[in-house]
Structure 1
Amino acid sequence: MSRRVSWRGMSCALLLLGSGVAQAHVKSESHSVWRVSGDEVSLEYSVPLTETIRLAETPGVQPPDSLLLDYFSRHIAVSAKAGDCKVDKPRAVRATDQFRRFEFTFRCPGPDGIELHASAFFDLIASHVNLAQIDKADGRFVEQMFTQDRQTLELEGEGEGLENAGFFEYVHMGLMHIFTGVDHMSFLLGLVLISRRTRDLVFVITGFTIGHSVTLALAVTGILRPHAEFIDALVALTIALIGAENIAVSTRLPGRVALASGGFLLAMILAKLAGFGTLPTLLLLGSALFTVNYLMISGHLRDAGRLRLVVTMVFGLIHGFGFAAGLLEFQMPKDRLAELLVGFNLGVEIGQLTVVFVLLALVEVLRRFSLALPRPIVVDGVAAALVALGLYWFIGRSF
């Protein structure tokens, strides 16, 4: 296989990236924590700088606290069965360098029939979501989402809980999370592409399974909860990286591919230092070091199967947090977390194995009917597409 074919593939990837033809979902999110104690509701509302800038009177300049407080006061409310709840004077509090945070306290005429209302940003971007954690007086917490179609949450008898769901419903949720997750399916395609032998495929699927099982459990049990927007960006980066690895191996030019990948992430770091982007500098730096070293190592090994088991375990750790996002939208029964985790994880495994077997079966059918293209051409073409798609999502989710 000539180098020209491979670099044409990379050029196609860059052209696809620049054209913007591919459609990717770039999330617009804010976060809220509602603490309910009797007839009093306290709210901690956190908004990324990328969202608050939408309210700026001067383009590119962060709006003052007074403007944001006025906007949120008109779009956030609490009501009870006995009437609307009065809000104490809200205030801005210190947050990280990527977020602005505000606190509200609502006092209701009674504790019955409390409803939470949040419509901020839906008038600016319809796909915005607010990830809400609701801490109740009895120690239970609920994780829900405010969306344009669901701007009110009722505290009593919330309808999206999982208390009454059966084991097979948990399995079905995991299954559908794979079948409806284009990013996860894209990553699985990259794993199949890089695995030349069945043994290699077993290694990478095993590592991926171990990794996402660990972080899925950590996230759902509340032990570890990373920022969702960081995880979305890293999931996209893993797709680009698995595509880049395919190109590095097929061209036998891991140094150039690693240099190009590291240069891209270095540019992201410089952009961050200049004030652009939402990912922390240390996260970008760690990603760059990992990417360059992994591409260099994998490109020089004859049998990289065992190495990929370890690396795909790292990838699985990232994707596991992405899987958890699908569960955290629901009220989870604490006394059935083990059953929920086993069922959901089983569904994820069935889903990803189905995707893998369908891909392998498709390849076999094409080969038997002599319709299959030469492997080098397939690797270059699909890997370039994965790089383009992964980078497109990564940049979109980072800025």
Structure 2
Amino acid sequence: MTVTTARPPEYDPSLLALLRFRLIDLVRGTNTLQLLGRLRQQQYESPNTLRTRTEAALTRYHDELRKNVPMFANTQSFSDLPVTDKQFINAHRGELCNPQYKGKLIRKKTGGSTGQPLVYYTSTDTQSYLWAGLLLSWEAAGYRLGEPVAFLSGSSLSSSGNKQRIYYALLNVKVFSAFDMSAASMAQYAAAIGENGYRLLYGYASAVHRLACHLNSTGTRIQHRLRGIVCTAEMLSVAMRKDIEQAFGVPCYSQYGCNEAGVSAFECEHKQGLHLLSMRCYAEVLEDNRLIATDLVNEAMYMPRHDTGDMVRMAEQPCQCGRGLPLIAEVLGRQNDVVVDSHGNGVHSEFFSHLFREDNCIERFQVVFDERTLTINLHGSNLDARHTETHCALYRERIVASLTFDELRFVFNEPFVTQANSKHRFIIRRPPR
């Protein structure tokens, strides 16, 4: 294969855009803007140079890990460390925190693809890499720093509150809720995208696809200024990409991340795979294709060899774009459903993750639905039917505001519905009766 070194055309951000992002960095204590400039250059280094960079960072990480975490003090090599998962991290959170870290501690909580919450901590450097990697993926889709962006997402991509509203205003981002995907709401989203000059649409793959299908099925063609679309959080299938590009008439790209493991990867213009930012994480792919990754820049908390819960296949050949980053050919095992009622109203599955994630009584959950019934199975040692109906009243109110089912049931500590591959899925759609 012929590998080219053609790079996307360079541009000079406006002074206003630079001032906005510098203000964000100043308030948050991050260095996203400076790091983005460095990543733009490093992504085109040779595979050998990037590999050497990652190996040096891994050696430093393991040395610090052995020094600061007693349970790992006697590990002779990084490969001797056990594979960690959410259960391990939740059980050993205090031991995994770095006692030498004196910077700002940022608490994170995620539901993830198994419906089991994970609480962990990151540093400002981690946040800088998170946003710099995201901006780099947007730039591959045609975005230019400071341009208006439409988010179709839930609170894992966006948050509420006055501080967040100011932050997204500085980013020039407008959030549209993937937790409300009714026909009326999608018509409003389409109109806003057409009228407000957004240059990029970014959001959950299934939510963007649902919006695209709405446009295609209604024959709606909106006049817009989008340069590209970036989908995240789930696998973007060939059929989904085709529907999205048909609806909007611009290229659609995939972006993949697992923040607790330091994973950030994106498609370039060739769409031959996902370029993995190896400057941030050390990635291992086991024989069963499980992606195990370590965030090398998180100084606040150590989560070595973290099981992302995803299965991937790495590319054997480099991409034609000339980037030397490792290339994920395919993410094999990441797909969530949109929960849809019989009236066509829908919410993204992350709606439930964020609905339950701050409730310490709920340890795990599963949502099972068909055209008539929505059943929510909550697991927790302190949950039982005698005192939880009142407990769930607020959840019921929030759900019925977005979805209409003949029956909405809460059950407690009942066996989860399993799939043929025995992997737990926290959202399951039953076939029509």
Same fold (TM over 0.5): no
Higher strand share: 2
TM-score by length of 2: 0.30
Q: Tell me: higher relative CO, structure 1 or 2? Use CA pairs within 8 A at least 6 residues apart.
A: 1
Higher helix share: 1
TM-score by length of 1: 0.32
